[in-house]
A and B are shown apart, each in its own frame.
Chain A
Amino acid sequence: MSKGEPLRLHVPEPTGRPGCATDFSYLRLSPAGAVRRPEVDVAPMDTRDLAYSLISVIDAEGNAVGPWVPQIDIEVVRKGLRAMMKTRVFDSRMLMAQRQKKMSFYMQSLGEEAIGTAQALALNEDDMCFPTYRQQSILVVRDYPMVDMICQLMSNERDPLKGRQLPVMYSVKKAGFFSISGNLATQYIQAVGWGMASAIKGDTKIASAWIGDGATAEADFDTALTFAHVYRAPVILNVVNNQWAISTFQAIAGGEDTTFAARGVGCGIASLRVDGNDFLAVYAASRWAAERARRNLGPCLIEWVTYRAGPHSTSDDPSKYRPGDDWSHFPLGDPIARLKQYLIKAGAWSEQEHEETQKRLEAEVLAAQKEAEQYGTMASGHTFSPAEMFDGIYKDMPEHLRVQRQQLGI
């Protein structure tokens, strides 16, 4: 056997870099309505084709087509659109507040609003979500008060987390929103455990796990799939593939020539790959997965194909690593624009209602921000007392922490 050519290390690259357009042909797309809808008790192996295609409902003209058109009350769709709009208005307002130094940090979910919103609407209120830092739409659609969110962002005297957490790391048990951790992927396996607990207790609640494309490379992603499969845990394993992990293209996470949904099939988990910018498809797929889990038929992995339209965070400048106009070329468009078009076509929305809703939401968010600012901001120094720093580390404060608190002079 010959020694052959020298080996070469393959390092994936995105096609688009600043000043050069992205070739989005790498996205495995399917026309709206083209992908089949199996029964909820489908064998995981029989979802292989679904893991390599794309479930879409709303077509380019704004019609809902195909087997995945959900049975959904039009009022719920309207509520969904309003929540998506509210999330976007909230994000843009908070971005501005960060630039004004009213908070130290912020992360938008621009372009990804449909996913959290529609899934939350497809779940029951007492199903527990294990979100990342980019599922604020779940809190918005579950009507968690914006004032409380902003107080957390401002770490002020009304911050529910008492100034202990970086902005956006919300925790709202009563809204089924698990405490966000800075450590990526950790919550994915915890969601599986929560679902297992529900099964152990003979409960009917299910868990919803969230992860981004980049974080699928963390060990906890694979661990979660293994445990979910082994114990048939009632959990929806959501992978939000927004193509980017900060500056890193999804190919570096292992997305080149494959899909993240395919990982589920390989682990024996029924898997779907869904248009993440199509509210109706997100709702339909989430309902399907929720029913599967709730009927004890096991977990489901869903790859949501979307695009991170905004910067990764307020500390990031995407123009340094990707084309400035990338989002406008993303084939799956803008989730709000698409649902708006659908609702108008269905006679359940109008340009005028859209405009009025937009204005009302802007006023609502502004009012919430003003109210929150009354309780202080980081800049104004109105935050929780440093005494709080020592509390809640253990259920009861141990002696050494009592002494350290005294040493701080409080």
Chain B
Amino acid sequence: MKTSMTMIQALRSAMDVMMEKDDNVVVFGQDVGYFGGVFRCTEGLQKKYGKSRVFDTPISEGGIVGVAIGMGAYGLRPCIEIQFADYIYPAYDQIVSEAARLRYRSAGDFTAPITIRTPCGGGIYGGQTHSQSPEAVFAHVCGLRTVMPSNPYDAKGLLIASIENDDPVIFLEPKRLYNGPFDGHHDKPVVPWSQNPLGEVPEGYYTVPLDKAAIFRPGKQLTVLAYGTMVWVSEAAARETGIDAEIIDLRSLWPLDLETIVESVKKTRRCVVVHEATRTCGFGAELVSLVQEHCFYHLEAPIERVTGWDTPYPHAQEWAYFPGPARVGAAFKRAVEA
């Protein structure tokens, strides 16, 4: 049975399903217990499953991830929350040196089957520390999986798949998409997920496989590699420029679905990479590099990148920073006209 859900409700439903299914799943983080999370993603879970399975933690990102790793070593399957991706850095040592390496360095003796949920991305006047997109710093770390959904259906299916996965997963949630899709037109009212088919979410268990991209919008003129909010911005740019773009929602950033990317670029012969994160050494650089390596003889134009500027995320200059449909559309035009 399908129900209309926001991304928040879909994520909550994923945790609910997994806690019901597996006694070893535990949920914790700052304000996630009694209060149900500052974004309501864990609302009602503590009441349903008790304080030993869903609980509040001290404000200590390193501690939250560190205890999750210890619990994973014991045999639990923690699904933990870092309140904003901007605040994940104190846990960086635990994530990179410990969670990502534990299986390898112990030759499988110990593993870290943990999922770290964290709201990311801008477009909400979040300023410097409520808007960042730090995916590249995780995609670079061997042993981690980095995942980002763009809609409620994928959010639930990918989160269930992440919790079930035996590798550590960085699960980035674009908070701009929590209540409805956002195409970058900040001057227009937000349309809720209830008016979008991707807001139709099965109530029970299902998964969306990791390492599989989705063709969000089929097209012939160029391939767009995007994820999170930028999927919707790219769609708006295609609509507004009239360019028949094939938009690929990567969903899993790393390891990624190279086959779908290469197949599409070989067909369209043009490629634009779009992300909110800053440009230099951003994840787009890896995508550009992969496309160049695998599709060089098929490319008709240089690969374009539309990204956030190489600046900290500003407050007042939000819409000059955020790669909106105008900037993305301009890149589409450059790519097809080259």
Q: Report the minimal beta-carbon distance from A394 to chain B, rounded to whole angstroms.
A: 5
Interface locus among A91-99, A166-174, A238-246, A345-353:
A166-174
Asked if residues B109 and A171 are in contact (CB atoms below 8 Å), the reply is yes
Given A190-B69, A191-B70, A193-B67: A183 touches B109 (CB 8 Å cut-off): no
CA distance A179 to B167 in the complex (A): 17
CA distance A196 to B69 in the complex (A): 11
Interface locus among A41-49, A222-230, A286-294:
A222-230
Q: Cβ of A191: which chain B residues have Cβ within 8 Å of it?
A: 70
Asked if residues B102 and A179 are in contact (CB atoms below 8 Å), the reply is yes
Asked if residues A186 and B98 are in contact (CB atoms below 8 Å), the reply is yes
A165 within 8 A of B: yes
A398 within 8 A of B: yes
Q: Cβ of B94: which chain A residues have Cβ within 8 Å of it?
A: 186, 189, 220
B272 within 8 A of A: no
Given A220-B62, A399-B255, A400-B255: A190 touches B67 (CB 8 Å cut-off): yes
Asked if residues B143 and A164 are in contact (CB atoms below 8 Å), the reply is no
A90 within 8 A of B: no
User: Which residues of chain B in 59-99 are interfacial with respect to chain A, using CB atoms and an 8 Å cutoff?
Assistant: 60, 62-63, 66-71, 73-76, 90, 93-94, 97-98
| CB-based nearest B residue for A398 | B255
Q: Cβ of A200: which chain B residues have Cβ within 8 Å of it?
A: 26, 52-53, 71, 76
Given A190-B70, A198-B74: A227 touches B107 (CB 8 Å cut-off): no
B101 within 8 A of A: yes
Q: Cβ of A394: which chain B residues have Cβ within 8 Å of it?
A: 103, 143, 145, 167, 255
CA distance A165 to B107 in the complex (A): 9
Within 8 Å by CB of B167, from A162, A199, A395, lies A395
Q: Cβ of B67: which chain A residues have Cβ within 8 Å of it?
A: 189-190, 192-193, 196, 227
Within 8 Å by CB of A193, from B69, B90, B102, B165, lies B69
Q: Cβ of A196: which chain B residues have Cβ within 8 Å of it?
A: 67, 70-71
CA distance A402 to B58 in the complex (A): 41
Given A186-B94, A190-B98, A227-B60: A171 touches B106 (CB 8 Å cut-off): yes
Q: Cβ of B48: which chain A residues have Cβ within 8 Å of it?
A: none
Query: Hey, what's the 0/1 contact readout for B165-201 against A, CB within 8 Å counting as 1?
Result: 1110000000000000000000000000000000000
A207 within 8 A of B: yes
A11 within 8 A of B: no
CA distance A171 to B211 in the complex (A): 30
CA distance A200 to B68 in the complex (A): 12
| CB-based nearest B residue for A163 | B107
Asked if residues B110 and A392 are in contact (CB atoms below 8 Å), the reply is no
Query: Hey, what's the 0/1 contact readout for A203-223 against B, CB within 8 Å counting as 1?
Result: 000010000000000011001
Q: Cβ of A219: which chain B residues have Cβ within 8 Å of it?
A: 62, 90
User: Which residues of chain B in 112-152 are interfacial with respect to chain A, using CB atoms and an 8 Å cutoff?
Assistant: 142-143, 145
B258 within 8 A of A: yes
Asked if residues A393 and B103 are in contact (CB atoms below 8 Å), the reply is yes
| CB-based nearest B residue for A160 | B107
Asked if residues B104 and A393 are in contact (CB atoms below 8 Å), the reply is yes
A248 within 8 A of B: no
CA distance A193 to B53 in the complex (A): 13
| Contacts between the two chains (Cβ within 8 Å), count | 139
| CB-based nearest B residue for A219 | B62
Q: Cβ of A189: which chain B residues have Cβ within 8 Å of it?
A: 62-63, 66-67, 70, 94
Asked if residues B66 and A186 are in contact (CB atoms below 8 Å), the reply is yes
Within 8 Å by CB of A178, from B73, B76, B143, B145, lies B73
Q: Report the minimal beta-carbon distance from B69 to chain A, rounded to whole angstroms.
A: 5
CA distance A298 to B42 in the complex (A): 28
Q: Report the minimal beta-carbon distance from A27 to chain B, rounded to whole angstroms.
A: 31
CA distance A199 to B53 in the complex (A): 11
Given A181-B101, A223-B63: A173 touches B70 (CB 8 Å cut-off): no
A32 within 8 A of B: no
CA distance A197 to B78 in the complex (A): 10
Asked if residues A179 and B106 are in contact (CB atoms below 8 Å), the reply is yes
A342 within 8 A of B: no
Q: Cβ of A149: which chain B residues have Cβ within 8 Å of it?
A: none
A249 within 8 A of B: no
| CB-based nearest B residue for A190 | B70
A194 within 8 A of B: yes
Asked if residues B107 and A161 are in contact (CB atoms below 8 Å), the reply is yes
Asked if residues B109 and A179 are in contact (CB atoms below 8 Å), the reply is yes
Asked if residues A392 and B66 are in contact (CB atoms below 8 Å), the reply is no
Within 8 Å by CB of B103, from A160, A395, A399, lies A395
Q: Report the minimal beta-carbon distance from B24 to chain A, rounded to whole angstroms.
A: 8
Asked if residues B93 and A183 are in contact (CB atoms below 8 Å), the reply is yes
| CB-based nearest A residue for B165 | A395
Q: Cβ of A183: which chain B residues have Cβ within 8 Å of it?
A: 93, 97-98
CA distance A339 to B17 in the complex (A): 57
Q: Report the minimal beta-carbon distance from B297 to chain A, rounded to whole angstroms.
A: 19
Q: Cβ of A399: which chain B residues have Cβ within 8 Å of it?
A: 255, 258
B220 within 8 A of A: no
Q: Report the minimal beta-carbon distance from A104 to chain B, rounded to whole angstroms.
A: 16
Asked if residues A172 and B53 are in contact (CB atoms below 8 Å), the reply is no
Q: Cβ of A179: which chain B residues have Cβ within 8 Å of it?
A: 102, 105-106, 109-110
CA distance A399 to B260 in the complex (A): 13
Given A227-B60, A398-B255: A164 touches B76 (CB 8 Å cut-off): no
Q: Cβ of B166: which chain A residues have Cβ within 8 Å of it?
A: 395
| CB-based nearest B residue for A207 | B70
Q: Report the minimal beta-carbon distance from A72 to chain B, rounded to whole angstroms.
A: 29
| CB-based nearest A residue for B90 | A219
Q: Cβ of B105: which chain A residues have Cβ within 8 Å of it?
A: 161, 164-165, 169, 171, 179, 181
A183-B98, A186-B93, A193-B73 are known contacts; what are 16 more A-B pairs with Cβ within 8 Å?
A160-B107, A160-B109, A178-B73, A179-B110, A186-B98, A191-B70, A192-B70, A193-B66, A197-B71, A200-B26, A200-B53, A220-B62, A223-B60, A230-B57, A393-B104, A399-B255
Q: Residues on B close to A: CB < 8 A? A: 26, 52-53, 57-58, 60, 62-63, 66-71, 73-76, 90, 93-94, 97-98, 101-111, 142-143, 145, 165-167, 211, 255, 258
Top 8 nearest A-B pairs (CB, nearest first) are: A193-B70, A193-B67, A189-B66, A197-B74, A190-B70, A179-B106, A171-B106, A398-B255
- A–B Cβ pairs within 8 angstroms, 20 of them: A171-B110, A179-B102, A179-B106, A179-B109, A181-B101, A190-B70, A193-B69, A194-B74, A196-B67, A196-B70, A197-B74, A197-B76, A201-B75, A220-B94, A227-B67, A392-B108, A393-B104, A394-B143, A394-B255, A395-B103
